[in-house]
Amino acid sequence: MSLVEAAEKADTAFSGIPIIDLKDIANPDPSVKRALANQVRDACINVGFLYVKNHGIPEQAISDALAAMKEYFSLPLETKMELDINKSSNFKGYNAVLSSNNDPESAGDMHEGFEFNREPIDPVEAANEKRLHDGVMAGANVWPRDPPGFREAMLRYYHPVVNLGLALFPLFALALDLPADFFDDKTRHCAALMRALHYPPQTGPVDDRVIGIGAHTDFECFTILWQEPGIQALQILNADKKWIDAPPIPGTLVVNLGDQFARWTNDVFRSTVHRAINRSGMRRYSIPLFFGTDYDVRLEPIPSCVSEDRPVHYEVVTAGEYVKERLKKAYGH
């Protein structure tokens, strides 16, 4: 079945999210790769969300990042505000509770976060890296002095997840009937923004206008999300306008598609609306890492996703211009 036909027949009134086992991701056998790519394709066309297990991210890296985040977010607000994202060039640093708004219908997002882009762990290498290719999105990361080791803990989680993301691009390419290396020359300086997020518990009367993160789609190609075990908060919207829970499943990460992939694929791959509400009574932490193509790449529709009955849905823009516009809207400047 062609991609366009598969998209026309998609079952988007899903009631659950598929779990895909990545144990064979590096298996060179073409039939094994094809079978895995087919599972990914079904998930991307029907749901736009999937869980991955056997993802290879060390548990220690996750628990160290979580411990560092807990310490960081417990600092006084004025200390965190020294790195206010609104003072930074290009959206690096701290965003306070209610300072971002992902859903224009909402009053603001009930979470705080810390945002950074790709950077080598080695401080000397990091200082020498200029990321000149980032164009409109250029700008160095900023890091807090406290807690000591925050930068290292976050980057020690970040780099294995970036490697996982780079291993997923060929799988998405195969799922789109493209050569496995289709994204290689488009992800050489791969944009990979990470956000460390803290959702304070929300108690009291339910105000649907104030939730952890308002209904939105992600901007980039795909997101790899770690969510704190044991706390249900994330929900995704199906075609019947029903919110489906996406609970944390031990040993898995969530992968969801974003709007850059919707643009590449002319909406054959779904960028599914989602939100998070923390009514657990406890603090909740999560870490999304957003993968886009290099910022200078033009988001052109893949020919096999366009037909006479499915004309091009989007005008072509560069990835950097697109992300910057979306970030400006989310942060209101």
Ligand X SMILES: O=C(O)CCC(=O)C(=O)O
How many other CB atoms sit within 10 Å of the CB of residue 29?
Answer: 9
Beta carbons within 8 Å of 52's beta carbon, 6+ residues apart: 19, 20, 21, 22, 252, 253, 255
- Quick check: 195 binds ligand X (CB under 6 A)? yes
Q: Which is nearer to ligand X, 142 or 224 (CB)?
A: 224
The token duo for 23 is 């144990």
User: What is the CA 55 to chain-centroid distance, rounded?
Assistant: 16
Residue 104 Cβ vs ligand X, minimum distance, rounded to whole Å: 15
User: What DSSP state is assigned to residue 75?
Assistant: S
Among 119, 134, 218, 267, binds ligand X (CB under 6 A): 218
For residues 221 and 261, what is the distance between their CA atoms, to the nearest angstrom?
5
Size of the site for Fe ion (CB under 5 A): 1
- Quick check: 62 binds ligand X (CB under 6 A)? no
| Residue found under tokens 């290009």 | 90
- Quick check: 260 binds ligand X (CB under 6 A)? no
Q: Which is nearer to Fe ion, 202 or 217 (CB)?
A: 217
Among 7, 110, 234, 327, binds ligand X (CB under 6 A): 234
Among 93, 170, 288, 301, binds ligand X (CB under 6 A): 288
Under 8 Å between Cβ of 152 and 129: no
Q: Using the rule CB under 6 A, give the single segment among 64-72, 116-124, 169-177, 225-233 that binds ligand X.
A: 225-233
Residue 286 Cβ vs ligand X, minimum distance, rounded to whole Å: 3
- Quick check: 227 binds ligand X (CB under 6 A)? yes
User: What DSSP state is assigned to residue 85?
Assistant: G
Residues 268-287 that bind ligand X (CB under 6 A): 274, 276, 286
Which of Fe ion, ligand X, none binds 41 (CB below 5-8 Å, type-dependent)?
A: none
Give the per-residue contact string, 208-247, with Fe ion (x = CB under 5 A; - = no). ----------x-----------------------------
Under 8 Å between Cβ of 260 and 169: no
How many other CB atoms sit within 10 Å of the CB of residue 124?
Answer: 8
Q: Which residues pair with 112 in a beta bridge?
A: 198
For residues 54 and 52, what is the distance between their CA atoms, to the nearest angstrom?
7
The footprint of ligand X (CB under 6 A) covers: 195, 197, 213, 218, 225, 227, 233-234, 274, 276, 286, 288
